[in-house]
Amino acid sequence: MSGTTLDDYTDLYAQRVHGMKASEIRALFSVANRPEVVSLAGGSPYTAALPLDAIGEMVAELIQREGAPALNYCVGQGEAALREQICAVMAEEGVDASVGASPDDVVVTTGSQQALDLVARVFLDPGDVVLAEAPSYVGALGVFQAAEADVVHVQMDDDGLVPEALEEAIAAVAASGRRAKFLYTVPAFHNPAGVTLAEERRERILEICQRHHLLVLEDNPYGLLGFEEQPPAPLRSRARDGVLYLGTFSKTFAAGIRLGWILAPHAVRDKIVMASEASILCPPTFNQRIATRYFTTMPWREQLKVFRELYRERRDATLAALTDFMPDGVRWTHPGGGFYVWLTLPEALDSKAMMPRAINARVAYVPGTGFYADGSGTSHLRLSYCFPPPERLREGVRRLGHVIEEELSLRSTFGATGSAGAPRRVAGDVPPGIA
Amino acid sequence: MSGTTLDDYTDLYAQRVHGMKASEIRALFSVANRPEVVSLAGGSPYTAALPLDAIGEMVAELIQREGAPALNYCVGQGEAALREQICAVMAEEGVDASVGASPDDVVVTTGSQQALDLVARVFLDPGDVVLAEAPSYVGALGVFQAAEADVVHVQMDDDGLVPEALEEAIAAVAASGRRAKFLYTVPAFHNPAGVTLAEERRERILEICQRHHLLVLEDNPYGLLGFEEQPPAPLRSRARDGVLYLGTFSKTFAAGIRLGWILAPHAVRDKIVMASEASILCPPTFNQRIATRYFTTMPWREQLKVFRELYRERRDATLAALTDFMPDGVRWTHPGGGFYVWLTLPEALDSKAMMPRAINARVAYVPGTGFYADGSGTSHLRLSYCFPPPERLREGVRRLGHVIEEELSLRSTFGATGSAGAPRRVAGDVPPGIA
Ligand SMILES: Cc1ncc(COP(=O)(O)O)c(C=O)c1O
Ligand SMILES: Cc1ncc(COP(=O)(O)O)c(C=O)c1O
C-alpha cells in the first residue's frame, strides 16, 4: 500500500471544509499558556475554587453505589434526574414551570457548544442567514460557519443589542432576498462584549423577532454570575414560544465535565434529541450523575456566591488597572458579571497586528476580529479576567498598556500603515479565525 | 407573546431534518428495559464486571491531586497523555509506530460515535455515496443519513465483506454517475452481523479501495474482545494511507465516560480537530484523565481477560440456547468475539411485524431493518448477549424460539400476508428507523 501520499485523499473533502480555518483562539492557546505570559485570552473558569476534596468523596461514593449504570450508556436526551436539576437551576433565573419549562423539554448536551451545534443542524441549510450581535461568541460563529450559514451582525451598545439595528438588519436581509432563521444572542454578561441587554429592550426584541417569524437562540452561560445584581430575567422567561434557551454547567460548576443543555419547544426537542443521538449516542452518563449529585447534595448556591465574589474581585482589579495603565483613547466596557471586558483601541491600531508584540511583552488577549464573521473588529480586543489572580491581572493590563503606548508612538512616528519592529504579515500568520 | 403555537417554527427546519425519523433501537429502549423483559436488544457492556471500588479510589485521588485542571477545558484534540495511552491500546492490535501511528495523529472524541460524525462532516456532501456492509451499524447509518449521504450496501458472508461484491458495488455507483467517498467497515466481530473479515480478504479489500481512490473508514470497537483468538490484524496496520481508524473505550472500559478516538492522516486530522472544536470545544477533560489513569495505573489487560471470559460464556449460552430452542429454518452466525449474533428467519417471517408479539412474550431484540439504509433486512434480527447473565440469555432465546414457532404456525394457517393476533400496522408504529 505504498506510493500514495496522505494528502491524496483530501480531494474527497466536503464542500464545507474548504472554508474551515484554524481559529485565533486556538493559535493563541499554545503561546498564551507559557508560564511567563499573563494570559487574558482564554475563558477558563477558576475551578481551583471548587471544594475538590468534597467532590472527590462524592464521586468515589457515586462509583461505589451506582458505578455500573454510571459507567454505561444512557438515553440520548440525558438522564431524567439531571434534567430535573437543570430545571431547578433555570428556575433561579425565572425560567420555571410557570413559563412552561419542564424536564421533558430539556436535552442534555456536551457543553452548550454542542447545543449550538445541534440547533445549527436542525435549522440551518447552507446559505441561510443568522443574525448575531456584533461582536459574537467565537464558538457560535464557528458553528454557523461549519453549517455554511451567513452571519449578519447587529449593532450593540452599552445596553446590549440595539432594537432599531435589529429591525434594520432584518429588513436588509429580506431586501437581499434571503431568509434569516434566527437571532443568536447572549443577553447577560456578553461574551466578548461584557454588556447586558437592558430590561426595557427585552420585550421589544422579542416582539420584533416574533413579528418577523424569527426564532431566538438565547445563550445564557453567565446569567448566575452577576456581581452586584442579577441581570434582567431571560428572554425565555418572557416567551414560551419561539425561544430556544441554552445553559451550561461550565461556568457555575465545572467546564471539564462538558455538560450543558437546551430547553426547546416539544417538537423541536424531538429533533434535537435525534440529531444528538446521531452525533454522540448519549451525553456522558458518569458526568451527568456527578452533576446530579453535586446539585442535589452539595451547597451549590453557596459555591455560586464564592465564584461571584472571586470574579468580582478580578473584574475590579482589571477595571482599576485599565484606568491606571491604559493610554488616552482606549475605551472599555464595564461588565456587571461574567468573564470579559471588551476594549476599543484608537482607530489606527490593529489588535491582531499588535499580537506578536504583546506576546513578546508577555501578555495575551484575543484580537477582536475573531468575534466577527465579516472581518471587522480590528480595533477591538477581548480581555478575560476569570482565571489569573488579581495581581497577575494588574500586571497583565500594565504590560498591555505599555504595548499599546508603544504602538501609538510608533504610529505617530511612522504613520498608520507602517508597523516597524514587527511586519504586518506576522499577524497574518495568525489565521483569520472563525471569521 | 401568546398566540403562537410551538409548531409555528418548525417550518424553519433545515432540509436534512425532513428525513429524520426515530430509530428502532430508540423506540425499543423504553419497553425493552422493563424488568420482566429479557432484553437481547441493547449493546450495553457489562460494566458491573469492572473493579468499581478501585476505580472509585483512583478517581477520588485524581480529583484531590489534579482536580482543578481535570475539571477545566482542555485542547480540542484531546490531552497528550491520553493520546499516548490510546497508542498503547492500538498497538495491542498491531496499529503501532511501525505503521506510523502516533499520538499526534489521534483525536479524542465523545465515543467513536462522534468520530463517525466528524468524518461525515469532513468528507460528506449531500448526495455523496458511502459504501457499507449489509447489514451495518445502526449508529453509522444514522450519521450518514444526517449527512444526507446515500448508503450503498455491500454483501457479506461468514468471512465478512465479499471483495467481488465490493467491486460490483463500486462499478454500479460509477455507472450511475455518482461518487463514493469511502467504505465504512467493521472488520472484527461485526455489529450486527457477528462475523469477522477473513485474513485472506484484507489485502484484497484495501487494494480495491486504493485502486478506486476510496477512503476506508475502519471502525474497530470490538477487536480486543476475541474469545478464542485475536481477529486478523486491522486494515490500518496494513496501510498507512487511505485508512481512517476508529476506536473506543466503550467496550473495553466504560461506555458512560463517552471516550473514543480517530487515528487519521495528518492533513485530515487537522480538519477533524477543527470540526470537533466547532461541535463540542473539547472532549471532557475529567473523563480523559480518568482513562489515562486507568490505562497507566490499573491492570487493564487483566480486566480485558475478565471481559473476554464473561462475554465468551454469554456467547456460548446464547449459541447453545439457539441450538436447543430455534425451530427449523432459522439460521444464525457464530461470533468469535464481540457482542452480537445475527439471525436469519425463514423468508415468510417479518422480524419487525413480530416485535409486538415478542415483547408480549417478554423478550426484545432489534429487527433487521434498522441495519439497512434501503428497507431490506425484514427476515433478520440482532441478538446481543453482552448484558444479561447466561441463564437470562437462555430464557430469552427460549421465549424467542417460542414466538418464532407460533409465528410460523400462524403463517402456515393464514398464509404469508395474514398476521392474526397482531395486525401489521402495529409494527408500523415502530418507526422505520435509521433506514
Ligand atoms: C456565550 C457562550 N456560549 C457557549 C459557550 C460554550 O461553553 P460550554 O460548551 O463549555 O458550555 C461559551 C464558553 O465560553 C460561551 O461564552
Ligand atoms: C460498530 C460500532 N461503532 C461505533 C459504536 C459507537 O460506540 P461509542 O460511541 O460508545 O464509542 C458502536 C457501539 O455500539 C459500534 O458497535
- Distance CA(A274)–CA(B21), nearest Å, equals 8
Q: Please state the rounded mean pLDDT for residues B328-356.
A: 95
Those residues whose C-beta lies under 8 Å from the C-beta of residue B73, and which sit 6 or more positions away, are A42, A44, A250, A255, A256, B281, B282, B285
Which pLDDT score is estimated for A69? 97
Ligand whose nearest atom lies closest to the CA of B72: 1
Contact B20 A271 (CB under 8 A): yes
> Which has more pLDDT, A421 or B358?
B358
End-to-end CA distance of chain B: 39
Closest CA to A223 of A93, A40, A318: A93
End-to-end CA distance of chain A: 39
Looking at residue A2, its pLDDT comes to 41
Res. A33 pLDDT band, cuts 50 70 90: confident
**Closest to A396 (Cα-Cα) out of A410, A379, A384:** A384
Band of residue A22 on the pLDDT scale cut at 50, 70, 90: low
B26: CA distance to ligand 1 center in Å?
29
Under an 8 A CB cutoff, do A74 and B268 touch? no
Contact (CB<8Å) A282/B258:
yes
Q: How far, in Å, are A272, B78, B322 from residue A122 at the CA level?
A: 7, 27, 43
In whole angstroms, give the CA distance from residue B305 to residue A360. 53
Least confident segment among B217-231, B247-261, B352-366: B352-366
A186 lines ligand 1 (CB under 6 A): yes
**Would the CB atoms of B67 and A76 count as touching at under 8 Å?**
no
Other Cβ atoms closer than 10 A to B30: 9
> Looking at the partner chain, which of B48, B75, B271 has a beta carbon nearest the beta carbon of A20?
B271
Per-residue cell: A425: 504579515
Average pLDDT over residues B198-226: 97
Report which protein residue has its CA nearest ligand 2's atom 8: B111
Which secondary structure element, helix H or strand E, spans residue A38, and what is its range?
A: strand A38-39
Shortest CA distance from A254: residue in chain B = B71
Band (pLDDT 50/70/90 cuts) for residue B33 is confident
Q: What is the mean pLDDT of residues A244-266?
A: 97
Measure CB to CB from residue A45 to each of B15, B72, B282 and give the nearest one: B72
Q: Distance, CA B168 to ligand 2 centroid (Å)? A: 28
- Asked whether the predicted pLDDT for residue B410 surpasses 90, the reply is no
Average the pLDDT over A33-52 and give the result: 93
Q: Can you give the pLDDT at residue A425?
A: 29
B112 lines ligand 2 (CB under 6 A): yes
- Top pLDDT among A418 and A219 is at A219
Query: Chain B partners of A111 at a C-beta cutoff of 8 Å?
Result: 280-281
Q: Residue A14 is nearest to which of B110, B125, B281, comparing CB atoms?
A: B125
**pLDDT higher at B226 or B412:** B226
Number of H helices, E strands in chain B: 13, 14
Residue B25 has pLDDT above 70, yes or no: no
Confidence of residue A241 (pLDDT cuts 50, 70, 90): confident
- Hey, are the CB atoms on A12 and B139 less than 8 Å from each other? no
Mutate-to-test residue for ligand 2 from B29, B218, B248, highest number of ligand atoms within 8 A of CB: B248
Q: Does pLDDT of A36 surpass 50? A: yes
pTM over 0.95: no
CA distances from B273 to A138, A432, B104, B282, B390 (A): 16, 17, 11, 9, 42
Q: In A177-253, at which residue ranges do the beta strands (DSSP E only) sit? A: 180-185, 215-219, 243-248
Residue B294 predicted with pLDDT over 70:
yes
Q: Which pLDDT score is estimated for B29?
A: 58
To test the pocket of ligand 2, the residue of B23, B109, B113, B245 to mutate (highest count of ligand atoms within 8 Å of its CB) is B113
Tell me which ligand sits closest to the C-alpha of residue B219.
Answer: 2
What's the confidence (pLDDT) of residue B23? 59
Which of B258, B285, B384 to probe by mutation at the A interface, max A CB count within 10 Å?
B258
**ipTM of predicted assembly, 2 dp:** 0.93
- Please report which helix (H) or strand (E) contains residue B364, including its range: strand B363-364
Verify whether the Cβ–Cβ distance A281 to B139 is below 8 Å. Answer: yes
Q: Which of A2, A5, A8, A9 to mutate to test the interface with B (most CBs of B within 10 A)?
A: A9
Q: What is the pLDDT of residue A269?
A: 95
**Yes or no, beta carbons of B255 and A283 under 8 Å apart:** no
Q: At B163, phi and psi to the nearest 5?
A: -55, -40
Whether residue A86 is predicted with pLDDT greater than 80 in this model: the reply is: yes
